[in-house]
Structure 1
Amino acid sequence: MGNLTVLQAKNAKAGDKLGDGDGLRLDVDKNGNRSWVFRYTSPKTSKERYMGFGSADEVSLAEARDARDEARKMIRNNIDPIDARNAERAAAKLEATRSVTFKVYAEGFIAGREAGWKNDKHRQQWRNSLRDYAYPIIGHVAVADVDTAAVLKVLRPIWDVKKETARRVRGRIEVILNAGKAEELRTGENPALWRGHLDQVLARRKKSEVRHHPALPYEEVPEFWKSLAGEPSDAARMLRWVILTACRFNEAADIDPGAEVKGDLWTIPAIRMKGEREHKVPLTNLALAQLPFRPVSDVTLSNCIARHTNTIATTHGMRSTFRDWAGDCTAFPRDIAEMALAHAVSDETEAAYRRSTALAKRRALMEAWADYCSSAISR
């Protein structure tokens, strides 16, 4: 039998530490909150430990004694009761994650993000690609259990026959699993990671398979810009923004200036980037002068291009125009121009370092590009 009575436990005062025997005691803090504490020596480390059994308002004296007796039984069996409880909680938490399937989590992820996607086509592509290719294979699998073999089972049937779709599906799976890890639904490396992982087992795209978009020769840009600068339409403003930032169409079409443009820096969320990584774009005064604009379709931008030049060129081709100019007409390092286009450079560690340190150099490059584009206006 213990030393405490129910009445003594009920009437305990602030600051009391009332022992019940065999390591169990009732502690009362300065605010009068009563809690059960079990003091013992760990059979693993031989160190003194304190294990809480809960509030005395919720756990009775009898229940606290039962918990103590169970803990003492564990100690006799060379088990540390705190370690055992922690392991039990971890197992319960892990079991709870098993009920969150990839499909359930992915649908929730999309629902939470799509409010920021202004392009309806972009929303539909996310849902449709996962519905058609990922969900039939891994939709029922717990987020925690999606592994490399499962990802490859999704990708291999389409990797060589639907190359662009497969690339996008892989990227979307990677983003979703990264989010799941952030929410502690899984641990370890991302099985959909490309560099240093899936690129070791899946074929890379050959350069001959890359579709090139008709580009405006950079020599024609100043006169083209001079004409384009006189058009006040949203299409013209958006096209000028695309040219001055060297961005892709969808990156501009889904822009949320209030959230993404801070001062003279545009941060494009990873979800909208081809490489699924956040991209920062230094903005010139000329670029900032194009905001705001109402996003228009790629076809509308193509028509806008045609109004100001007889040369066949596309919106995406403007990126090639910028890259050719940077390589032929400037002394900026190759990696700086590639980073301005959000292309991967060198290995992953060096790329992360360069992204954080090359912003000033990229800003100088974009200033030079803006000056070149508008050079015919001052002539």
Structure 2
Amino acid sequence: MRRIQNLTARKCETIKEPGYYADGQNLYLQVSKALSKSWLFIYKFQGRKHEVGLGGYPDISLAVARDGAARWRKVLIAGDNPIEIKREQEYKKHCSRIDNPTFAQCANKFIESHQAGWKNPKHAQQWKNTLDHYVLPIIGNLQVKQIDTGLVMRVLEPIWLEKNETASRLRGRIENILDWASVHKYRQGDNPARWRGHLDKLLSSPNKIQRIKHFKALPYHEMNGLLLALRSNSSISAMALEFLILTAARTGEVIGSQWNEIDFNQKIWIIPAERMKVKKEHRVPIASRTLEILSNVKQLKVNDYIFPGRTRNGGLSNAAMDKLLQVTLNYDATVHGFRSTFRDWASEITNFPHEMCEMALAHSIKNQAEAAYRRGDMIEKRRVMMEAWLTYIETKPCKVK
């Protein structure tokens, strides 16, 4: 009579030689050359030998492996081939995952399909970070068709008052992902993350919670002192910041600027549409001092970026100019705020037209009729304005009683 249950828990733990160790009734413990262990149900069907894996040891204990072998023996006794039954089960499970994806799977697919159209490459990472931190631990493993208003509220309620700006962005991201899932037929019905007519009845309005935060700007009459401080600092960050101030450009436009965008003959910086906030090419007249900065920084050229960063092929980091301004020079202001400084100067002590100032800042035209008829960009008139801006900040202000 063949002996069954040859193995014991102690023996399974202490086996150190590679091979197959029979427990009886088709159950074997396989020990590899690397001494990893796994359970196998080994049998013959229609004259051919087959193996069905039951899982690894010690995650699958001897007792659990015996139960698994017993289930497959019943299949064998019924006249079916266990390996074919297992493949069929795995296929159905795979189809179920495809037809009923989790929220996390839909989120990944949504980001993959949309990130090419996002302006900032870091946008995709921001999506992933906020979803990983706030959303996926709560609803990530649930099938997307199961997501309802209660689950969305479980994500948003804990942070709605304390971190409303983040929570508002999250709500929009959840809504977009669920809309994507609905279009792909993974879920039906209304979107439980919809704001108007739905979550606005359950959560306080962001306008009542958030305080408007403006970028802190340096008053224009203090610009001369900053300019002197920048010119006494020979770093790439200082040259980049002065370049930003003189062109009234955004941080991303400056740190992403490359040498092929500069037309030295025409003295124009041409920023391509894909790097602009409004997705439209923007021409910037280069003032005399701006041209000097370009000449100086060109002597340090190491790659295609006008203002290179620490990496061999990269540009200046996003925080470099703010760090210089706030830490090194100890100014209580932000880099983005210099656009406001320029705008205040143009409005309060010059007669330059409003539309010219808006063009200098590359603002979109809200009036659709005006936008349809505007063709030029006043480049030469703006050149005069930018020279006036340079002259103003290079001039030491008079003391006022």
TM-score, structure 2 as length reference? 0.45
TM-score, structure 1 as length reference? 0.47
Give the greater-gyration-radius structure (CA): 2
